[in-house]
Amino acid sequence: MKKWSDQVKRFSNRVENYVKYRPSYPKKVIDFLYNELGLKQISKIADVGSGTGIFSNLLLYRGSKVFSIEPNQEMRESAENALENYDNYFSINGSAEFTTLPDDSVDFIVSAQAFHWFDLQKTKEEFKRILKPNGKVVLIWNNRLTEESEFSIAYERILKKYANDYNEVNHQNIGHRELNSFFNNRGHKTFTCSNYQVFNFEQLKGRLLSSSYSPVPGESNYETIMEQLRDVFHLYNQNGQVTFHYNTEVLLR
């Protein structure tokens, strides 16, 4: 098991690629949160594990007050640079296990593409502490479809063979048992919609390098995985492009 400090730093050298090549979230998801779940312009929202601010930006655009909580300095500073013009944006050097927020201080807690990094028991206690009575927790992932096409199957095969610890840190390792425990076996609701990204080769390369499990230049397997990536792209691209398909999944209590 890696030390927590090592986990926090996993994305420090990937921020530029993360900003450029990670997917955002469909408008349908944000509409669902505001039209169906009850988020409002006056809501106080903790975005925990906020990274470079991709999801925070969507909430800020709707006018909500957002406390973006991120332990990685480089990612947090990138978000601060991008979102500094929002008066309702508050950047916090904190973590899911220690947000630094006061008791009963937020109406909603959201976590987009980050929950699988948390210590679930400590996070559960911290979320309970900072959430107002009748507040809600919302977990969001862009789940990349791995069998959507011959390209997606081949790409997944590359990750399993050459990516550093892909199988260990894959967010889909969070299953029903972990979620049921986190939500006190009270069940959770799910909302899903489709999402996608289209890449040329350089963009596909950047998307891979944005992932914490990808080897970077100078590391073992870097040259091999890039060679394999180029081969797969050349084999399956259509008019110089390939597509990542996602199911964007929202879990809420």
pLDDT at 246: 97
Q: Each residue of 133-153: pLDDT tens digit?
A: 999 999 999 999 999 999 999
In this prediction, residue 252 has a pLDDT band, given cuts at 50, 70 and 90, of confident
pLDDT at 8: 72
Q: Residue 228 above 70 pLDDT?
A: yes
User: Which three-class secondary structure string do you get for the chain?
Assistant: CCCHHHHHHHHCCCHHHHHHHCCCCCHHHHHHHHHHHCCCCCCEEEEECCCCCHHHHHHHHCCCEEEEECCCHHHHHHHHHHHCCCCCEEEECCCCCCCCCCCCCEEEEEEECCHHHCCHHHHHHHHHHHEEEEEEEEEEEEEECCCCCHHHHHHHHHHHHHCCCHHHHCHHHCCHHHHHHHCCCCCCEEEEEEEEEEECHHHHHHHHHCCCCCCCCCCCCHHHHHHHHHHHHHHHCECCEEEEEEEEEEEEC
pLDDT at 173: 57
pLDDT at 89: 98
Portion of the chain with pLDDT greater than 70, in percent: 93
In this prediction, residue 34 has a pLDDT band, given cuts at 50, 70 and 90, of very high
For the chain, domains (ranges, CATH) are: 4-252 (3.40.50.150)
The distance of Cα 235 from the centroid of its chain, to the nearest Å, equals: 29
